[in-house]
Chain A
Amino acid sequence: MSTVFIALQANEETRPIIEAIEIDNPQAVVNRQPAMVKIDAQGQLVIRKSTIEEQLGRDFDLQELHINLISLTGNVVEDDETLTLSWNS
């Protein structure tokens, strides 16, 4: 199965987001690099608004991710509640 990833800037805003991604994707591997965090996962990665809100302690619009996004791979599917990255192979 192919690996998908999302890379976010390492800062105060993304810390709870990264924690939420870890909670929702136990298979994900978090690589902490200078100024950046790259999260790899086999096949699929799900980012959930509700989990981020719990970690963050406030409302969160998934599109706020754009501010601190560095890169990602895979087919993107987004609605109000989740953003999913996946490969079809």
Chain B
Amino acid sequence: MDMKVAKKKLGLKEKYRALTRDLGWDTTYQPKDAVFPYVGYEGIKIHDWDKWEDPFRLTMDAYWKYQAEKERKFYAIIDAHAQNNGHLNLTDARYLSALKIFLQAISPAEYASHKGFARTGREFPGVGTQVACQMQAIDEIRHAQTQIHAMSNYNRYYNGFHAFADTRDRIWYTSVARSFFDDAMSAGPFEFMIAIGFSFEYVLTNLLFVPFMSGAAYNGDMATVTFGFSAQSDEARHMTLGLECIKFMLEQDPDNLPIVQNWIDKWFWRGFRVLGLVSTMMDYMLPKRVMSWREAWDIYGVENGGALFKDLARYGIKPPKGWDDAEKAIDHMSHQFMLGLYQWSFGTAFHSWIPSEEDMNWLSAKYPDTFDKYYRPRWKHIKKLADAGTPFKNYGLAKLCQTCQLPTVFTEPDDPTLTCHRQSVYKGQKYHFCSDGCQHVFDNEPEKYVQAWLPMPQLFQEPINGDLGAWMEWVSLRDGKDNGDYAGSEDQRNFEAWRGLATTNQ
């Protein structure tokens, strides 16, 4: 009788070696430098690519198995959401503004990230690095697709979801996220890894996804909880890749330190500006709030980022240059952003609104040093204008920062009553900035940023030539449906009517 003997399985380390390192080869038809032309030009010195370790030691066979399982879970819930009128379980359709911003700005960023990692994986000569970048490239395209798919359920019922691709390419506020990723993708492979893998994923992504998912769970949005969780289950691997990458660079050669520090300074500030929009979501857009932006920053910025930079101090890394300015901005930024979104709401493919008295009381409890002093009086004034039938609309065009492309709505780090404005002159042209951080980024690489596509100058070019109606058509914004105040919107009327039908027998 044959005895059944369990086949000896390879241990994690042996399997990782067999399915990554052992798949690599040395080039013979061409010199290695010609095959990997971009790996040297940023000045980063690498002596031994085999020192790169993926601490999770994930191999492609295991990767496909676990990703397939994530997809099955995802689609089971998305089906249930669609079959059970999941959209009527939302706390309130105001919540959808956060989703619309996500679809228009963040999902396309996932796609951009996919392209970036596919390219970077090709440009790095190390096999471990190539495999990790390949997995992340596939993850990122999966995120873009599952997000678009999940949110398409809302497109059947609500405005502002119908033209995210046009919005991504053409509307003004999405250029903030787009330029961020274009900036990273047009950098060298090592800078890309610091930009996306480290600064965005490791230092900042928790601030985006964790409160966003909890926010979705709090507000009855099963579809988003699901895509959020499915995406986030990949993020732990992405964050770890980012951290490994930076440690690898710093351990390979001491000359890498100043280059890496400079990228950390740049990309922390760039990321902080992009993710600033999350602050309005947390403080204003969630009808049922999870925690304030300040509370999230204390957990994921101060505590977590603080621990990270203390750990990296052994290599000589210092916290990013803009760290203190960021801390000073935390208690102000969500209010400054939301006031900006409200006054330019004629040009946004989502709704904004004046916070209710109850909302404002919550804000003053969460921001005891700033809200009542600086922001409540402004909202009260805006409310008075709206009640008098003369709502405050700013039809002037926002002045945009040449680096982050946000309107220059922020205040001086040490004086919240004074708008922060910086300018640099380069080759006879004047460029405007929202902060020291953004000016600094520009001054280091002016040739790159003078080429930025800015949405405001576009308004005066073909095919728009300064005509607001033509602009709306060009960006696929339907006036009176997608934009403006939530109060009185079609989304509000429909949600209330449908919810009424769902909960009564009328």
Answer whether A78 and B217 are a contact pair too, CB < 8 Å, given A7-B210, A71-B235, A89-B310. Answer: no
List CB contacts (< 8 Å) of B232-246 with chain A: 232-233, 235-237, 239-240, 243
Contacting pair B218 A80 (CB below 8 A)? no
| Chain B nearest CB, measured from A2 CB (Å) | 3
Among A3, A7, A66, the most chain B Cβ lie within 10 Å of the Cβ of A66
Contacting pair A71 B58 (CB below 8 A)? no
Contacting pair A70 B210 (CB below 8 A)? yes
Residues on A lying within 8 angstroms of B by beta carbon are 2-5, 7, 9, 33-36, 63-64, 66-80, 87-89
From B70, B225, B307, contact of A89 by CB (8 A)? B307
Residues on B with C-beta less than 8 A from A79 are 11-13
| Chain A nearest CB, measured from B464 CB (Å) | 42
Residues on A with C-beta less than 8 A from B217 are 34-36
From A2, A71, A74, A77, contact of B232 by CB (8 A)? A71
| Chain B nearest CB, measured from A55 CB (Å) | 20
Contacting pair A76 B240 (CB below 8 A)? yes
Contacting pair B214 A34 (CB below 8 A)? yes
CA of A10 to CA of B205 in the docked complex: distance in angstroms?
Answer: 20
Contacting pair B11 A69 (CB below 8 A)? no
Contacting pair B66 A63 (CB below 8 A)? yes
List CB contacts (< 8 Å) of B69-105 with chain A: 69-70, 73
CA of A35 to CA of B222 in the docked complex: distance in angstroms?
Answer: 11
From B233, B235, B307, contact of A3 by CB (8 A)? B307
A-B contact sample (12 more), CB < 8 A, given A34-B290, A79-B12: A2-B311, A9-B229, A9-B233, A36-B214, A66-B237, A70-B210, A70-B233, A71-B206, A77-B55, A79-B11, A88-B311, A89-B314
CA of A51 to CA of B58 in the docked complex: distance in angstroms?
Answer: 22
Residues on B lying within 8 angstroms of A by beta carbon are 11-13, 55-58, 62, 66, 69-70, 73, 205-206, 209-210, 213-214, 217-218, 225, 229, 232-233, 235-237, 239-240, 243, 247, 290, 303-304, 306-308, 310-311, 313-314
CA of A77 to CA of B11 in the docked complex: distance in angstroms?
Answer: 15
Contacting pair A69 B233 (CB below 8 A)? yes
Contacting pair B240 A33 (CB below 8 A)? no
Residues on A with C-beta less than 8 A from B314 are 88-89
| Chain A nearest CB, measured from B284 CB (Å) | 19
CA of A78 to CA of B54 in the docked complex: distance in angstroms?
Answer: 9
From B66, B206, B310, contact of A67 by CB (8 A)? B66
Contacting pair B206 A3 (CB below 8 A)? no
Contacting pair B235 A63 (CB below 8 A)? no
Residues on A with C-beta less than 8 A from B240 are 72, 76
CA of A3 to CA of B314 in the docked complex: distance in angstroms?
Answer: 17
Contacting pair B213 A35 (CB below 8 A)? yes
CA of A67 to CA of B232 in the docked complex: distance in angstroms?
Answer: 10
Chain A: CB-nearest residue to B304: A73
Residues on B with C-beta less than 8 A from A88 are 311, 314
Residues on B with C-beta less than 8 A from A36 are 210, 213-214, 217
CA of A80 to CA of B15 in the docked complex: distance in angstroms?
Answer: 11
| Chain A nearest CB, measured from B287 CB (Å) | 15
Chain B: CB-nearest residue to A2: B307
Contacting pair A78 B66 (CB below 8 A)? no
Cross-chain pairs A/B with CB under 8 angstroms, 11 sampled: A2-B311, A3-B303, A5-B304, A34-B214, A34-B217, A36-B214, A64-B66, A67-B69, A72-B240, A76-B240, A78-B55
Contacting pair B69 A76 (CB below 8 A)? no
Contacting pair A2 B13 (CB below 8 A)? no
Contacting pair A66 B13 (CB below 8 A)? no
Residues on A with C-beta less than 8 A from B311 are 2, 74-75, 87-89
Residues on A with C-beta less than 8 A from B307 are 2-4, 73-74, 87, 89
Contacting pair B55 A71 (CB below 8 A)? no
CA of A63 to CA of B66 in the docked complex: distance in angstroms?
Answer: 9
